[in-house]
Structures are given as C-alpha cells and as structure tokens.
Amino acid sequence: MSAPYSSYLHEYMAKCRSGEILVGQELLQMFDILDENLRDPNIRFEPADANKRIKFIEEKCRHFEAPYAGKPFKLELFQKAFITALHAFKIFDDEIDKWVRLYQDVLFVVGRKNGKTPLIGAMNLAEFFCGPEGIKILCSSNDYEQAALMFDAINAMREESPSLDKVTRKNLTGIYFGNPKRRKKKGKFSYRNKGHIKKISAKTGAKEGRNIAVGAADEVHEMKDNSGVMPIRQSLSTQDEPLYYELTTEGFTNDGYLDERMKEARQVLKRELHRPRWLVWLYTQDSEQEIWQDERTWVKSNPGLGTIKKWSFLRNMLEEAKTNKATRIFVLAKDFNVKQNNAAAWLMAEDIVNANDQRFNLDDLRGRVAVGGVDLSKSGDLACARALFYKDGKKYTISQYFIPESKLSQLSKEDLEKYKAWIKEGRITVSDGNENDFRLVTAWFVKLVKEFGIRFLKIGYDKWSAIYWVKEMEEVGFDMVRVEQNWGPMSEPMKLVEADLKSNLLYYNNDSLDKFCLENTAITVNSKMEQMPIKVQGKDEKKIDGAVTNIICYRVYIDNRSDFLRLCA
C-alpha cells in the first residue's frame, strides 16, 4: 500500500471518497459502516490476516487463462481492499472466549468479466493454506457446471504453482493436502491434514454440504429461492469462524433469491436492518441514465475496467444494445448490475407495423412453396396456424386463428368486441364446445394446398400439440417437425423475426390480430444471452400465439434454408 495509508482498505476508501476512484453510492454506504467499525471500541482492526492472504495470492497463485496465463496473480487495489475488509475486523466471541473475524457472510456483486470467480477462487485457495488445519471448502452454484468454474479456477492456480502443487493432490472428488510421492512427510501440508476443497451444485447441498468452514455460492442470481443455499449455510454452524460467500452479477429471475438478498442488503446499507456480520460489497450504478450519458461512470459496476476488462469490449456491447433489445437487457443486467424485468416488451410500436404497408393476398402467392408453423398450446384456448413464404428477397406470412366457443364467454368486454370483429372477418375459426377442433387446423392447410397450389416443405409444431393431430397431418401428406419452445430452438429465429420486422423484410398485411399478438409478446433472456418469447407481465389474459408461430416458422426456415430458397427461386 502507498503512504500514508495504514491498510489497503484505508487507501481505497480515501481514493473513492476523493473521487480519484469512481464508485457507486451503495459501496460508499458500506464504507460508512466500516468507518463506524473502526471507531467502535469493541471491534479491533488487525490487517495481518488479510495481508497474509494477499501476500499468498500474489506470491503463490498464477493466472491460468489467456492473456495472463502463467503470470503472477497481482491483485488490484479494489480486490485488496475487499480482502482487508473481510479479514481485518475482529470481535470477541464470549462463547468460545477468543477474538474472531467479524464478517461471516459476504455478498459480492460486480459486473461480469471483472475477475470475480478467479478472485474468490484465489481467496479460497489462500484460505485452504492460510486457514486452520482441517479446513473444508465448498464451491457451489445453481448448477454443477457453474460450480465447476470456480473449482477449476482453484485447481488451475494450484497446478500453475510448483510449491502448491508439490504439497497437494487432486482426484475425482476434490483437492486434498498430501503428495502421493511423499506420503511419509509430516505437518500441516501432509496427508495428516484432512481438509479439502470440493464442488457441488447448490441443488444437492443438503446431501453434501456438511461441516464445512467456507462455502462459496457463485451466480446466485439464477436461484428462485433459498432452498439451494440454506443447507450450505447451515453446514457452517459448527465452525468458530465460518465464512459464506455469495458472488454474482444481477440477473433476470423476478422475485428470486437474489432479489430478496439485494432488498435486505440495501436495508443494511440504509441502517434499516441490523446485520453486523454481513459484508455487503456492491459495485452498482447510481442510475441507468448515467450509463448512456457518461461512460466514465461505467467503472462503478466494473472496477476492473481498463485493467481486467477492456473498454473496447464494453463500448461495443453498449453500441449493440442501442438497437438490439436482448443485448440491451443482457448488458444492463450482467455488465452494469441494473436489474432487468424478465418480461420486457419485445418490439417497439414502430418495429411491429410494416412501414411501407406492402399489401398482398393469397393469389399473389399461388403455387409457391411455404414453411408452416402451428402453436396449439392448450386445446381450450386460442391457437394459431401460419404459412411463411419467400419472394424477391422478402418474407410474406399469412395466418389463421382458432378458438373454442366457450372461451369467448371468459373474455373481457373490451377483448370480446375485438374477437367478434376478427371472427366476422374470418380471421378466427370457432369450434363448438370447450375445445378446439384440430381438424379445422388441418383443413386450413389442406385448403391452401388444394385451392392455391401451395406446397409445404415442412410444418413446425410445438411439443404441446396433440399427438393424434400430428399423425393426422402426416397422413394427409405434410412433413411435420417438432420445434420445442425452449431457449435453444427459439432464440435464433426470434432474433431474425425482430431483425426482419425492423428492416421491413417480413410482411403480414399489418393484420390487426397478428399485431395484437406481437404487442403482447415480451422477451426473456438467460445467462447465455439466449432469448425466448413470453407474455408481457400483467397481461396473462393477452395472447402471443401469433408471435410464437412466426418464430416457429422461422425456426423451420433456418433449419431448411438452403432447400427452401432453392425451391422458392
């Protein structure tokens, strides 16, 4: 640390408060709490344990990924300050009659690609060596693959260091002390030490997480509730100085586990909730507006910007986010920790309406090749069938909707008037009773073939479609392909539908029912930046079937593009 500061934490807090380092208000609120700790006569500030771990990381740990592979793990000031805040504050525990670490729980929120997982991995490895003999450490996440990222980071750092590798070993179950070639060696770093580092999915925490000293849960934003982490937290109860980390970015799960934790964390920072043993370390923006107005503020949620994370990368992502809704949602949540509604509207009003309103009819498409898409969803609800054509570099689509008669009585007065008009126009076919008669769907496709000479290459259907109806379609002569309404199958075609609508390359006669479905469609994005259509929040009674069939048709088109375009030529 540089003079005249007594610790890395003091230096970091001073530079942040002076404006030399830019951070958000929520981290400054945590600094105020730490200042109170420094003045509290019942709390000691002893940075020796923190400095020991910092020294271990910088001298023993090495990076394992490009472009820093093999190089020493040199910590940034913000990382050293965080480690100091965690390990330097001590309180006296009357139950065990000794001074112990004040902070037992940690919430560390930072934008992606700021070295979060390698940092906590290095801290866990430091704890393995610098902590008490027999220490057991658990790397956890919402799924086993994510948990493996931290564990693999720890193991890679261990393997990169000859001195660490010399006194440890790894097998299928975890990392242990002791060198197989030196089995008789005694001491803390020998087989005598029964400590270990393991990885588990948080979903299996109740089975594995027993009697551990350190638990680290990565990417908790994906968890819907606390059922995955509570067994891990409870397994720390026997320890004198337990340590539980939660490290994450913001996510897209509404009313999930992280939402509740962030709510409580902010209550702690505002002194509305007393959790003296919880270190809340949040790298967050003060507003969404500042992200678009001043790129200098980006460091508030990205403290590693310019050293760990590249400015050019973030600038490119923000530029793409200006025109792509899915990218915007993903970047704001993952790069800037701005919580995103997982049901944000998919398309702007100007995107939905064809600007030049190019009208067409079935006679214009007579004798052409098409791909089809069907969303039957529930037999007692609105259903949609669609045909997609390609002509002169543009796509044209026609659709037909189906509804059981009994469903009409359940509509609101406003929607009922709309549906009556659509039925009168022939846009919706009504089935008697409580269920859609799927034979009417088959009849619509057959009509296109017989009356307009349209040939269908393939017709996509969702997994909920009735098996007997699919068989009926195949017996008539249609080639049916299943399109599952899930992240992988729906993401690419959804992006292409959006792009074609914005570019006026997809025409649907500005049909009011198709438009109704597009307006009701929201977009949800996962951690892999894949997207899927869902209903706009608060509009469960609205329908999106027409939008879904567009996406299904595009899935069939993408999977059969070469054959389709050849036949359309």
For 283-293, how does the pLDDT look when each residue is reduced to its tens digit (9 = 90+)? 999 998 899 99
Same domain as 276, residue 403: no
Identify the bridge partners of residue 89 per DSSP, sorted by sequence position.
45
Looking at the fold, whether 267 and 359 belong to one and the same domain comes out as: no
The least confident of 87-91, 315-319, 323-327 is 323-327
Q: Are residues 224 and 363 in the same domain?
A: no
Domain match, 373 and 256 both: no
Residue 45 or residue 180, greater confidence: 45
Nearest CA to 443 out of 419, 478, 467, 408 is that of 478
Q: State whether 219 and 140 are in the same domain.
A: yes
Angle between helices 487-502 and 545-559 (to 10 degrees): 100
Confidence tier at 539 by pLDDT (50, 70, 90)? low
How far is Cα of residue 124 from the mean position of the Cα atoms in its chain?
24
What span, in angstroms and rounded, lies between the C-alpha atoms of 327 and 306? 22
Cα–Cα distance for residue pair 419/427, rounded to 1 Å = 9
Asked whether the beta carbons of 52 and 130 are under 8 A apart, the reply is yes
369 lies in the same domain as 278: no
Residue 316 CB neighbours (<10 A): 11
Q: What amino acid occupies position 152?
A: D
Q: What are the tokens at 149? A: 């990222």
Asked if residue 292 belongs to a domain, the reply is no
Look at residues 286, 314, 335 and tell me which one is the last residue of a structural domain: 286
Neighbours of 8 (CB within 10 A): 25
Residue 338 lies in a domain: no
Whether residue 335 lies inside any domain: the answer is no
Show the tokens assigned to 380.
């007692």
pLDDT at 280 over 80: yes
CA distance 103 to 89: 7
Residue 244 shares a structural domain with residue 380:
no
Q: How far apart are CA 402 and CA 519, in angstroms?
A: 19
Residue 329 lies in a domain: no
Residue 109 has pLDDT above 90, yes or no: yes
- What band does 209 get if pLDDT is binned at 50, 70 and 90? very low
The per-residue b/e assignment along 265-294, b for 16 or more CB within 10 angstroms, e otherwise, is bbebbeeeeeeeebbbbbbbbeeeebbeee
Q: Say yes or no: 512 and 416 in one domain.
A: yes
User: Structural domain of residue 232, as residue ranges?
Assistant: 8-286
Would you say residue 538 has pLDDT above 60?
A: no
Higher-confidence residue: 514 or 71? 514
For residue 322, tell me if it sits in a domain: no
> 508 and 403: one domain?
yes
Burial bucket for residue 317 (CB in 10 Å: 0-12, 13-18, 19+): middle
Residues sharing a CB contact under 8 Å with residue 385, sequence separation 6 or more, in sequence order: 372, 373, 374, 399, 400, 401, 402, 441, 444, 445, 549
Tell me, yes or no, whether 561 lies in a domain.
yes
Provide the 8-state DSSP code for 526: -
Domain boundary among 239, 268, 286: 286
Residues 262 and 360 in one domain: no
3-state secondary structure 49-88: HHHHHHHHHHHHCECCCCCCCCCECCCCHHHHHHHHHHHH
Q: Which two tokens stand for residue 189?
A: 């770093």
Of 204, 228, 206, the residue nearest 217 (C-alpha): 228
Query: Are 374 and 465 found together in one domain?
Result: yes
How far is 293 from 301, CA to CA, in rounded Å?
15
SS3 of residue 18 by DSSP = helix
**pLDDT for res 447:** 97
In the listed set 269, 286, 303, which residue is the last one of a domain according to the structure? 286
Task: Identify the pLDDT of residue 537.
Answer: 63
> What's the CATH number where 165 sits?
3.40.50.300
Q: Quick one: pLDDT band at residue 384, thresholds 50, 70, 90?
A: very high
CATH number at residue 499: 3.30.420.240
Instruction: Please state whether 253 falls in left (phi above 0), alpha (psi between -120 and 50) or beta.
Output: beta
Q: Is residue 230 part of a domain?
A: yes
Average pLDDT value over all residues in the chain: 89
Q: Please give the pLDDT value at position 180.
A: 82
CB 469 within 8 A of CB 441: yes
Q: 108-139: b or e for each residue (b if 16 or more CB lie within 10 Å)? A: bbbbbbbbbbbbbbbbbbbbbbbbeeebbbbb
- Portion of the chain with pLDDT greater than 70, in percent: 95
pTM assigned to the model: 0.79
Residue 563 domain flag: yes
Count of the separate structural domains present in the chain: 2
Residue 412 has pLDDT above 60, yes or no: yes
Q: What is the mean pLDDT of residues 300-320?
A: 94
Tell me how far apart the alpha carbons of residues 465 and 375 are, in angstroms, rounded to a whole number.
Answer: 7
Pick the residue with more confidence: 257 or 25?
A: 25
Same domain (yes/no): 84, 201: yes
Decide: helix, strand or coil at residue 441: helix
- The predicted pLDDT at position 481 comes to 96
CB atoms within 10 A of CB 88: 25
